[in-house]
Amino acid sequence: MEDAHDDVTAYFAWEEVLCRRVGQGHPPVVHLWRHPDAFVVGLRDRRLPQAETAMQRIRSGGTSVCVRPSGGAAVPLNPGVLNVSLIIPNPPGRLDIHEDFRLMVDLISRSLAPWSEAARAGEIAGAFCPGDYDVSIEGRKFCGIAQRRQAKALIVSAFIIVEGSGDALADQVRGFYDEASAGGAEGYPDVRSGTMASLQELAGVSSVRAYQASLFRLLQEEAGARLLLQEPSVPIDEVQVMTEKLRLRYDV
């Protein structure tokens, strides 16, 4: 589904549909995707007093904007950011959400083996979309992880900044919070320069394509038949219906 839609909401709709399918017995799925120009807002961000104004201002510049149904906070997307989602069953009685975060951290850390073994998990103060499972190198975050859980399946999602400037992305997020909070809402990310970086900056990864190839090799070696690496076919009308539902539920 890479670069297939202008509307970033459609990517989350596609995953929502697949998550239901996996809950009904479909094999687990790995979804890799990028977007040319999008800004994804967290559910809590949407409650900021001027969030609607800030989102509309970003849209007016031609950027696709949506509120995602998973956890996490605001994240800008461009072709240098690779999104990775594991869509897997959620067996009855399985309550340890941290296990799923650790699964993604391990996958990302090991996929960096050709370039670096220095990736670490832990919240980076001043980074955007902060969380206990930020993935960083030498104190600068390049990856954030979130979850979306349904009754019988779940989505563990990561954004990975591979190419470009981490500080430039941080500037975009800081601008959103400055506007959306009307100058000062407590409890929201205080995004600071020097906390975000790309794998290109941190580890010399040449391109998204090179990193994605390493990740795909690892998935083939480790997952084998347990994960469906070829993108499943989902009827476009089903995705369109889900896209509209997500817009009505979460967006402005």
Q: Tell which residue, 204, 216, 200, 148, has the closest CA to residue 2.
A: 216
Q: Which two tokens stand for residue 73?
A: 């906070």
Burial class (CB in 10 A: 0-12, 13-18, 19+), 238: middle
User: How far, in Å, CA of 158 to CA of 103, rounded?
Assistant: 11
Which amino acid, 139?
G
Tell me if residue 143 is catalytic.
no
From the candidates 19, 66, 129, 143, give the one annotated as an active-site residue.
129
Q: Tell which residue, 151, 11, 160, 158, has the closest CA to residue 89.
A: 151
Quick check: 39 and 58 in contact, CB under 8 A?
yes
Report the catalytic residues: 129
